[in-house]
A and B are shown apart, each in its own frame.
Chain A
Amino acid sequence: MTATATATATRRPAPALSPATRWLARVLVPAALVVAWWFGSAGSTSPYYPPLAEIVTRFRELWLFEQVRSDVVPTLVVLFSGLLIGVALGVVGGLGLARMPTVRATVMPLITFYRALPGIALIPVLVQLFGYGDGVRVGMVVLVALPPTLIATMDGVLGLDATLSDVVRAYGLPRSERLLGVYLPVAGPQVFAGVQVSMQFAFIAAIAVEMVGSTRGIGYQTLLAQQTFASADMWAGVLLLGVVGFGSSAVVRLVRNRLLRWYDGAQAVSRAA
């Protein structure tokens, strides 16, 4: 009986945990992990796991801000220009495919085939054709970032309410206004779900092209550090890559929340009602 009673207490979440406990748990656990890493690795002589103190020192020496201009900026430029182009093409293409059933039926098998291919396998093909320039790196990011947004936009527009398109037609809105003023915003939440996946893929592609054939960039420096057994440098690079991955996906989330504020607001209202 006591077992059931305690079970009830832990199963009903809201009253069981005070806000103070909640925040304590959120802050203490990560802090404890970092402290454990710091002291656990303190005297380490292992070639794989250098002391965290040494990693932090190397991080400061390498990335604040010695190699920002030579390596961090190129990575970010490739990542975000590729992502922007890929997303723009994906949105335009997705709108187009959604509105043109004949074209859709013609290219869909090709798109399915293309999406089944692990994006990474495109790198050597692209390099064979165009070499190792900056354009190829951006192009690689574009090719990988494109499909998620394209499919999400297409599905979003195809899934729209039939009444909506009737209304739009009854008002006689011109084509451009119909697409950009009505269809795209209504499909917005789905489009952004696709953009978030595009972001993850773009990040992977941007690092991967650096690791394959580049002479600069965070990914290149990190893999080089691994190959030369500079393990503290490598760990510092991994940390920076983690920060860039976390930061760039946070940026996309911020943009999404800003652009879809109207939608989140309407959702909150309808949930409260």
Chain B
Amino acid sequence: MATVTAPPTAQGEGTFVPYERPPQSASVPPSTPPARVSRVGRFEALVVFLLFTGAYAALGYQVMIVQHVVVFDALDRLARAYLVWHDAPPKLAVIGFDLPPVGTLALLPVTLVKPVASSLIGLVFSSAVFAGGVIVLLDRLLARCEMPRLMRYPALLLFGANPLFAFYASNGMPEMTYLFFLTATLYALLSWVMTGSTRFLVLAGTALSICVLTRYEFIIWALPLTLMVGATLTRWRASRGEIEGTAIVFAVPACYALGLWSLFNGLIVKKPFGWIGDGVGSLAVNSDQIAHSGGATVHMVATRLGEILTGTAPLAIAVLPLLMLLFFSRREETSLWLAGLVALAVVIVGADALLAGKVSVLTLSDGLTIGLVAFIGAAWIYRASNGAGTLVWLIALALLAATLPLAWQRMQTYPFQNQEQAFVRALNSGEDQEGTSSIGGYHVGIAPELRMADFIDRNIASEHAILTDNAQSYAVILLSGRPGLFFDRVQRGDAIWRTVSENPYGRVAYLLIATQAKQDILRARYPVAANGADPDFRVLFRTSRYILLRVPPRPPSLTSTPSLTLPGLTGQPALTAPAATSAIPGTSGP
């Protein structure tokens, strides 16, 4: 632990001096890095990134592609991203306003090439890349905290091997996206505290803005983080103008992101702040949602929080008091702020459950954020604990190691989850999980979707012939690889789609209904047909979750139907649909 006693370096990364403002890094030529700082070079970062990303991608391929543990929430986002490129015509509107947009936008690169998306490899790849990014950033942070390479790697390995982290690193869910941006925020912010460099503050503000649009609860984080910036500057005896200006620079990206999102909501769905209440996650088509019902008392919430904490992030239990101790013993204010963030990560999910009145809101994945912040807190303690760094490292390592079996166990038993149980079972048994069930009422696998997609692909050729509620049948559309066959709610706007759904005769040839999804509009409109019992709608094909019906050319009560032309086929309809953005010519500043 010699590094903590190193003399002050040009970037203030030597001896820990909590009350001194670091010199601007800009005054340091790039060719003269501080002597004692263990930096992460580009090559090292690339190697770490490739190793972890490769590992997670391989794991994801095995579990998702081979063993069919597919999280439908991720599938929904993948389908939306896919339709952004490949719908007919492509529409940005398909991203929708019911989910934080970045989770979907992050999948755009992996859906550009059709087979990459429809094979679900893109889904695996996306979360693996973000997870690899998280590990690299943590590596950089540990290096900034003066931790030597030999000590960093065991810590990173144990953190990355956490089965809960590994699951989300390979299942395509947005968790890894927001964890990446949260890590970037905290890494950059702490780097700013250490160096005073504008670059890090800008990076932190930008990362936070993306983070809040990946998961809205991080809006609450923005306030304490901004206060932390102000407090740090106050400690540096900055002028009022500097504090004000710096706080603006840090906070303005998040404000802009939320303002813009509210503007879109206001313009298009006429509810500027509707996203605040609506962002509850997509409805899993493969779940009966039974486990997600029920109320929430303080006791229930506390119990579940305890389970999450002890099962997935026990490090937080040690880090929180140590950070407080550090603050009280050394008046090191950043420790206090980090302790506050660890506490916030815990409290915020509990409060969310209490406000929602549903303890089921407390999913196991909430432990990811807590675990991440605790890890960063531990790194800070290591940096600040002059002479006791090794001890801190050993304690952290022990707790990270203990997390592995604890998380493994909790994933098999915790009631509110996203098929973590199926994931563990798949790894345990090595068997295909298709057709099995997982805690939360999930029916594991995508065989029904695949069969329906395959049938459509082989038998239907007409464009826009299948009327479907894409909010429920997204998986079939995605897996078919031919979104042009469908007449979904986005292509020509929701209003036109609803008009057609009321009178599909002669306008479309088929109806595709998700039979188990109560939210399917067509299922609600044609309940008898959805059961395959309407003689006017002949069943062409059905699986356990979908039914494909032939639409008669004319309404059953009529003898003839005038020839109809689909509105909007030759031109763009008026944009009145919900979840539709407008075609807006864009410009940029200089």
Whether chain B is bound by chain A comes out as: no
